[in-house]
Amino acid sequence: MPYKINGSECTACAACESECPNDAIYEKNGVYAIKTELCTECVGDHDEAQCASNCPVDCIRIDKSVPRYQAV
């Protein structure tokens, strides 16, 4: 899961949550987070990650510390 929500920048607008085809985004302590085990980067569903493309404050970015999703 290469995407991560920067909690200090998240405005809790929820724009990302409804866009996730895998229900990987959830609210935690007033901001949103991504469940790494559910995120597929929208591979097979969309051409780009819907959470990042719909975030109005651009707080969802690639997390380079985690391997990219590999479709099987």
User: What pLDDT digit, counting tens, does each position of 30-50 carry?
Assistant: 999 999 889 999 998 999 999
The pTM for the full model equals 0.84
CA gap 28, 16 in Å, rounded: 14
> Domains of the chain (ranges plus CATH)?
3-62 (3.30.70.20)
Q: How many residues does the chain have?
A: 72
Pairing mode, strands 3-5 and 31-34: unpaired
CA gap 46, 32 in Å, rounded: 21
CA gap 15, 56 in Å, rounded: 8
Q: What's the half-sphere exposure (Cβ side, CA atoms, 13 Å) at 36?
A: 9
Judged against a pLDDT cut of 80, whether residue 68 lies above it is answered with no
